[in-house]
Amino acid sequence: MKNFRFVFLFIIIFFTTTFSINAMLFEFLFHVKNSLGEAIIRTVYLYKVIDNQLSLYAYGDTKDFLENGWNGGCDIEDSSGTANWPTLAIWQPLMGFEAGEYVVIIDDRYIRLYIGLNVDLHFYYTPGSNITVGGNRPHIPRHYGINNNYNLSFRNDFGEGLGGGQLYFDDVLYNSPFTPTLAACTWPHNVLAITPQEINYITRKFIKWEKGDVLQTTSLEIENIPQESAQYDANFDTYYDITVQNQLPGYSNQGQIIVGGVTQNSPYYFEVLRPYSFNTSPFTQTIDCITFTFVNWLKNGQGTSETPPFTPIDNTTYTAVYNALPVDWNRNITCNSPIDEPIVITWNEHPSSGVTYYQIYRKIKNVGNEVYLGNVNRGVMSFTDPDYLRSNQSGDPLLQYDVRPYYSPSNTFAYPSFSTVTYGTLYKKNELSNNLNKSFTEISISNYPNPFNPITNLIYTLLKYSMVNIKIYSSIGEFIIELVNESKDKGIHNIQFDGSKLPSGVYYAILRTNDSEKVTKMILTK
């Protein structure tokens, strides 16, 4: 007899033809009699377990075993097949049988057993009694009895009356609820819950199986479900997907945030079991010398009056909104100008790219208020004081400077922070009267620093009150800009030239008065 897989197969054999055949390798012998031992007509069903399908196997009356030896198969006592036969079904459908687990069903009785190779089986049945088995290699039945039908229901319970989802029954995936009607002969069965499941975009996680309101197991699987009609519910907890994050001007959702007492990187993702709450705490933090201070909460991008601890009722994103302020950094404001030359201060770039320009302030230490001098863009790390020359005399004013960064994402300036840099002396005409009376042998013009990037200070001297014109030209004689075109007093004068919009190269500043002309060569390096 062939090996065979567990396949459910319907086979219908009609006893309509009488013929003789040789004994087959796969043979069944049925003895179906009443309580008086008389042959009776019955239908025999064969159920192949692995396929979960029932087939009509044979129909007819059972002759006396000693006379015939068969009802529904061939004569195991007569290998030639010439004995007196009852009406037989066509035999060919049985040729495809393979070894496996089968159930024989007659009336409301069944017997389930494994049928192997080269087995000749005798099945004995009397109405009202169980089917028994014998033969040359009788196998012990797995189970037998009355083939009752049972109505079963398996469903997911996600709470608040919400069902749906899926589950496995006998390793096959079904939608919930799954409500099979099963015969006793088909047992055993098992059911397996699936976890987690996303229902209405919310995470559900398995808790337990219940039958009615009675706990069955907290395991995902119920094995060998009892033979009875019943409803089984897979109960689930609801978990909300929560995001807690920062909103930092210029730094998106970076930084850190405290959740449940633990510092986490933002954004932080986690789950909260309904109906519980969670706690979170924003805190002041500094990134790239930008200090962020908490302002308010957003819930799913909208303003909210809720404050921690939060009790979510859905998947939710909580956002801590901050303001931002640039703070002091390693500015290292210094001056390396020669004595009696204009004061040029330099500094280190602010580490945050959100700082787009600097305001420059000056004040005399311990005297007076701050004075705004001008501003330069990010990338420019020097500035020439238009009013003071550097001095090494301790009796001269001690000058302090503040390079004040502007943080564009939050439209904020840093708080004032002055550094003491150098001594200085005034050289503006309205503040340095002796320049008006100083004797000069010729007019002059020079610039400092040189080379420069991108700002340099042009210093020029006049022998007398004159009409003054200063123009800038490129190295090929192209006119760039006119800086001065007005009358000036005798003395030292100063004006800045900004080359931030020009390419690197050589430029010339030409000073013209009523009766003289001077040129200075400037080098712009970027």
Q: What is the 3-state secondary structure (H, E, C) of 340-372?
A: CCEEEEECCCCCCCCEEEEEEEEEECCEEEEEE
Is a pLDDT exceeding 90 seen at residue 194? yes
pLDDT classification of 160: cutoffs 50, 70, 90: confident
Strand partners, 170: none
- Domain residue ranges in the chain: 15-146, 149-326, 334-426, 435-524
**C-alpha count within 13 angstroms, C-beta hemisphere, residue 199:** 24
Instruction: Note the pLDDT tens digit of each residue in 417-451.
Output: 999 999 999 864 333 344 444 455 678 999 888 88
Give dist(CA 260, CA 278) in Å, integer: 7
The verdict on domain 15-146 having CATH code 2.60.40 is yes
Lowest-confidence segment of 33-42, 67-76, 95-104, 399-408 by average pLDDT? 67-76
pLDDT band at 59 (very low <50, low <70, confident <90, very high): low
pLDDT score of 73 more than 50: no
CA distance 173 to 27: 36
Tokens describing residue 514: 């009523």
For the domain bounded by 435-524, which CATH number is listed? 2.60.40.2550
pLDDT of residue 440: 52
pLDDT at 499: 92
DSSP per-residue codes, 2-66: -------------EEE----PPPSSEEEEEEB-TTS-B-EEEEEEEEGGGTEEEEEEEEE---TT
Q: Mean pLDDT for the chain?
A: 83
The CATH fold of domain 334-426:
Immunoglobulin-like (2.60.40)
pLDDT value for 414: 97
Q: What is the pLDDT of residue 17?
A: 28
Which one has a higher pLDDT value, 381 or 101?
A: 381
Model-level pTM greater than 0.75?
A: no
pLDDT 10s digits, 202-216: 999 999 999 989 999
Residue with more model confidence, 66 or 325: 325
How confident is the model over 476-483, as a mean pLDDT? 93
In this predicted structure, the answer to whether residue 72 has a pLDDT above a threshold of 70 is no
CB atoms within 10 A of CB 413: 15
Span 107-122, mean pLDDT? 80
Look at residue 21 and tell me whether its pLDDT is greater than 60: no
Which residues sit opposite 405 in a β-bridge?
A: 358
pLDDT of residue 452: 87
Same fold, 334-426 and 435-524: yes
> Which of the pair, 187 or 80, is modelled with greater confidence?
187
Q: Give the pLDDT of residue 15.
A: 27
Question: Would you place residue 275 in the very low, low, confident or very high pLDDT band (cuts 50, 70, 90)?
Answer: very high
CA distance 175 to 165: 6
- Whether pLDDT at 286 is above 80: yes
Q: Which pLDDT belongs to residue 78? A: 34
Confidence label for 308 from pLDDT (cuts 50, 70 and 90): very high
Provide the pLDDT for residue 271.
97
Q: According to the model, what pLDDT value does residue 56 have?
A: 65
Give the model's confidence band at 138: pLDDT under 50 very low, under 70 low, under 90 confident, else very high.
Answer: low
Check: CB of residue 356 under 8 Å from CB of residue 463: no
Residues 6+ apart with CB under 8 A from 24: 73, 74, 91, 94
* Dist CA 331 CA 334 (whole Å): 9
pLDDT band at 70 (very low <50, low <70, confident <90, very high): very low
